Amino acid sequence: MRMIFRSLGLVMALSIASFSEEYMLIWQSGEKPNRCAFYADIKSASGQADVRPLTVLEIYENPDGPFASEFVCEFRASDKQCRLVKGTDFFPDDDRKREYAHPSWQDLPNNWQRRAFEFATWDQPWRMAFESDKRNAKLTGRGEQSALASQNCLYAGQHWWPSSLDRFTYKYFWTDTQRPAFTSSKPKEVLERERAELLAYLEWASRTLGGFVETGKAQVKQMDRQRELEELKAQCAQRRPYTRLNGTLQSWVGVSEQALVAQEGPPSSFKIDKGVRCLTYSSSRSQDLMQVQGNGSIQKIGQYDYNIDVTYFVLDGMIFDFAVCGNDPSL
């Protein structure tokens, strides 16, 4: 296995989606069409103890298996041992995934895990390089990453789900091939029912939150208002239709609207409904539909257009609830 890096002018403040982790590309290996890219979750690299945690996300080019794997690892600096606390394979078909673990300590293999060990235990050099590149980007307006490249890593930005990091890899690194299409095995009637459930929830949330705003104007006791607010939060969490984003989005409940806009920028659309501020962030992507012709050539015969909308409900300046809709199979 070998390291492969390109010199890219990636913007240091790159933000792919909301409620995300920050990733650093630390290793690439393999040859087309079986390449792999390894990204370290910057926030998971913490602590000064002998045992250092690190979460690594691997993206695969091979379309026959999982498109991504997440490895929650621990590295022991004193004797160069490692163990896998939890591994998760993600497949490009709805919510299918596979989980496993190898909790016993073992010698450090001479592959991506050795690079991950260095990233987790010798973190001061890349952290200093990261800060240096950010300062230079702020001064020059260019996203060059010369300091990080000298440390054999590149900042990949913020990503809320493996599919986002997968798209990023094909866009910036594996530009000589087509990203495989994600599939959905859900019947059409199931997709339609899920959409109807979401629309019903949005209507309920708008009506209920609007009523809360109206009653809150006459509310005198702050403790009573706070108690009713917590009860309403519980109702929203119980009624909200399921998406794979829910667990990540939940971390934004209770955060200020100002903090959200500072990190994610202005929303794609905005409205006020019965006193409730509704901020919607929209994203979209297209996937070409290809077909092999009789002469062996590959021709584009159509295109899939996917979209995701994330709407935040804001009360008293704080994010109170959220909802997700769209037709992207990665939801």
Indicate whether 211 and 273 sit together in one domain: yes
Instruction: Please tell me the pTM assigned to this model.
Output: 0.61
Name the pLDDT band for 300 (thresholds 50, 70, 90).
low
Peptide bond between residue 92 and the one before it cis (omega within 30 degrees of 0): no
Q: Among 19-33, 210-224, 247-261, whose mean pLDDT is lowest?
A: 210-224
Name the pLDDT band for 331 (thresholds 50, 70, 90).
low
pLDDT at residue 4 tops 60: no
209 inside domain: yes
Indicate whether 72 and 144 sit together in one domain: yes
Summarize pLDDT for 271-292 with one digit per residue, the tens.
Answer: 887 678 888 888 877 666 555 5
Summarize pLDDT for 312-321 with one digit per residue, the tens.
Answer: 888 878 888 8
What amino acid occupies position 256?
Answer: S
Indicate whether 156 and 203 sit together in one domain: no
**In the chain, how many H helices and how many E strands?**
8, 11
Indicate whether 36 and 125 sit together in one domain: yes
255 inside domain: yes
Higher pLDDT, 120 or 242: 120
User: What was the pLDDT predicted at 17?
Assistant: 36
Angle at 264 between CA 47 and CA 239, to 5 degrees: 90
Indicate whether 101 and 238 sit together in one domain: no
Indicate whether 145 and 236 sit together in one domain: no
16 inside domain: no
Q: Among 182-191, 227-236, 287-296, whose mean pLDDT is lowest?
A: 287-296
Indicate whether 61 and 139 sit together in one domain: yes
- Strand order from edge to edge, sheet including 318-326: 269-273, 276-292, 298-315, 318-326
Indicate whether 153 and 294 sit together in one domain: no
- Percent of all residues in the chain with a pLDDT value above 70, rounded to a whole number: 79
Indicate whether 90 and 125 sit together in one domain: yes
Domain count along the chain: 2
| Domain boundaries, position 128 | 21-172
pLDDT at residue 14 tops 50: no
pLDDT at residue 13 tops 50: no
